[in-house]
Each structure stands twice: as structure tokens, then as C-alpha cells.
């Protein structure tokens, strides 16, 4: 099994860092802080990070084709324009349970975003959104929706419900945006909680593991074939970016004030090229 060690970028410490997204057009990394309700923007050359306070705790962030940032906050989708204006564009149907958590756009620009609760019940789901059809409940019986990604050929979706301790795969129809036939892909020990993930051009899945101080690389066949060591236990998510999408950026959380590495942003060259982040298509 190959191994690497991640190094910190800058000095900022998030409460619960999550959802890194590389903006290739602006050469910046955006990421969120669920606990402190912030959107971060990091210059990876200088390590300087700026923070924007948000009106609520974000679950994820995504870029639009116009370069705006979509934020899933509570049960609302909001758009942050380049001029700093923040406006709501959609809300979950009334009576929906849970708050937004992790999410990403697919290659066609539809946003896939899941919900989560802390009660351990499987009454949340993974939603699909586009501004023509609104929200559609796609994957039911979810407790803590988390990492999501797609295979390079767009025929499979990879999906994490953290409390299930595994990565699942679903058959994906990119033409109509439908994910079906959910089944286990890679199972983790019960003590390990899978969190966010990303995919490289060879089809490997890079999975952040909460509580295990690592990101694991999983082959397209579901075998664990690599490990990135992170010097803090609460590893939350990861994304490829930088020149040629060859740097793996890793977020973490801080629940221990005595750990100077907790909550920091990390980076590592793992010798792989990641798939670029898809952008959300919005007409509103």
C-alpha cells in the first residue's frame, strides 16, 4: 500500500472544515466551516485565507458556470455573487427532515446534496436539484449524507452515508440525472467513519476517514490501495486542485484545543491527477 504525508497550508484553524472546491479559473480554493458558519477562500501560493461569515451553517459549497458560489445552508440554497450579495434561490419541500450536508454538481450541472440528522434515524435522503425542476428525492433512507463523486466515465456514482461505515456505488444515468441500484462498494471497520471524497482520472476514490487521521485511496475495484497520513484525527473531506489538479487538498475539524493541527487545511502531492470540479448550471 502506498503512503503519503499531508502538510498544512497557512495557519487558520476551522471549527469544522469541510467541502473543499478548487476554482481553476480564479486559482483559489474555497471551503466551508460548518461549526463557525463561514466560507473560506485560500490562496494556495501564500497560504493566506480570508473568511466570510454566513447567516447559517453551510453543508456544502459549489461553483456555478458564471463563477458564483452556491451554498447549501440549513434547508435553503443560496447564491453568493462576485459582488458579495447573497440571495436565496430554493428551499426543500415543507416537512423535509434534516439539514443540508455534503453535495456536488454532476457533469450536467445538476446539484446533488444530501441531508443529515444527529438522531441516527434513516429518515433523510440525497436530493437532486436544478432550477427547471426544483428538488427531487433520489436516494431515500439516509441518516448522515456525506461524500459524493462520479467515475471518470460518468456511469457510476459513489456515495457515503457515514453511519453505514462504507462507500456505496450506484448506476448513474448522466442524460437524465438518475442514480439507481445502490450497493456496497468498499466497507470500513465499524470504528471508522467515512466522510467526504473525490475521484481521480484513473477512477480511484480518495476518502476522508473521520477519527483515523487519514485519507484512503480506494481502487475502482473497491480495494484500499493507499493512505495519506494527516497529523490530526478528525479528517473531513478532500479535493484535487492546483496546477493540473495534481494536489490533494484536505480539510479537518477541531474538537481539541490542545491539538495545534486540528481544523487546519492540508495539501499533498499524491502523484495522481484529479477530476475537475463540475459547475452548477443556474439560469436564475
Q: What CATH number does residue 189 fall under? A: 2.120.10.30
CB atoms within 10 A of CB 168: 20
Q: What is the pLDDT of residue 31?
A: 99
Q: What is the pLDDT of residue 8?
A: 98
Does some domain include residue 239?
A: yes
Does some domain include residue 280?
A: no
Dist. CA 154–CA 107, nearest whole Å: 8
Does some domain include residue 277?
A: no
Does some domain include residue 21?
A: yes
Dist. CA 273–CA 276, nearest whole Å: 9
Q: What is the pLDDT of residue 170?
A: 99
Count of structural domains, the chain: 1
Does some domain include residue 54?
A: yes
User: Which pLDDT band holds residue 284 (cuts at 50, 70, 90)?
Assistant: confident
Q: What is the pLDDT of residue 256?
A: 84
Dist. CA 276–CA 22, nearest whole Å: 8
Does some domain include residue 203?
A: yes
Q: What is the pLDDT of residue 218?
A: 98
Active-site annotation holds for 269: no
Does some domain include residue 282?
A: no
Q: What percent of the chain has pLDDT over 70?
A: 100
Dist. CA 67–CA 24, nearest whole Å: 10
> Which pTM was predicted?
0.97
Q: What is the pLDDT of residue 283?
A: 86
- Residues at the binding site for substrate are 99, 101, 119
Q: What is the pLDDT of residue 111?
A: 99
Which entry of 33, 106, 168, 195 is annotated as an active-site residue? 195
Does some domain include residue 274?
A: no
**Mean pLDDT of the chain, nearest integer:** 97
Show the domain range for 93.
Answer: 2-269
Amino acid at each position: 500500500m502506498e503512503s503519503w504525508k499531508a502538510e498544512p497550508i497557512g495557519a487558520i484553524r476551522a471549527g469544522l472544515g469541510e467541502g473543499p472546491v478548487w476554482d481553476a479559473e480564479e486559482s483559489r480554493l474555497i471551503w466551508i466551516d460548518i461549526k463557525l458558519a463561514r466560507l473560506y477562500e485560500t490562496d494556495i501560493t501564500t497560504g493566506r485565507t480570508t473568511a466570510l461569515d454566513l447567516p447559517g451553517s453551510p453543508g456544502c459549497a459549489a461553483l456555478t458556470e458564471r463563477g458564483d458560489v452556491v451554498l447549501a445552508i440549513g434547508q435553503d440554497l443560496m447564491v453568493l455573487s462576485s459582488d458579495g450579495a447573497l440571495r436565496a434561490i430554493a428551499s426543500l419541500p415543507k416537512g423535509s427532515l434534516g439539514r443540508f450536508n455534503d453535495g456536488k454538481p454532476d457533469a450536467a450541472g445538476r446539484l446533488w446534496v444530501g441531508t443529515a440528522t444527529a438522531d441516527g434515524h434513516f429518515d433523510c435522503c440525497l436530493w437532486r436539484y436544478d432550477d427547471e425542476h426544483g428538488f427531487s428525492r433520489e436516494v431515500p433512507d439516509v441518516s448522515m449524507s456525506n461524500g459524493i463523486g462520479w467515475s471518470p466515465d460518468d456511469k457510476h456514482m459513489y456515495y457515503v452515508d457515514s453511519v453505514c461505515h462504507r462507500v456505496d456505488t450506484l448506476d448513474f444515468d448522466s442524460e437524465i440525472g438518475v442514480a439507481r441500484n445502490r450497493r456496497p462498494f468498499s466497507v470500513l471497520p465499524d470504528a471508522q467513519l467515512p466522510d467526504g471524497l473525490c475521484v481521480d482520472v484513473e477512477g480511484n476514490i480518495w476518502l476522508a476517514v473521520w477519527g483515523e487521521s487519514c485519507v484512503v485511496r480506494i481502487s475502482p475495484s473497491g480495494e484500499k490501495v493507499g493512505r495519506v497520513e494527516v497529523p490530526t484525527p478528525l479528517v473531513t473531506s478532500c479535493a484535487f486542485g492546483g496546477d493540473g489538479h495534481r494536489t490533494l487538498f484536505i480539510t479537518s475539524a477541531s474538537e481539541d484545543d490542545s491539538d495545534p493541527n486540528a481544523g487546519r487545511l492540508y495539501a499533498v502531492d499524491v502523484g495522481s491527477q484529479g477530476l475537475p470540479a463540475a459547475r452548477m448550471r443556474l439560469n436564475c
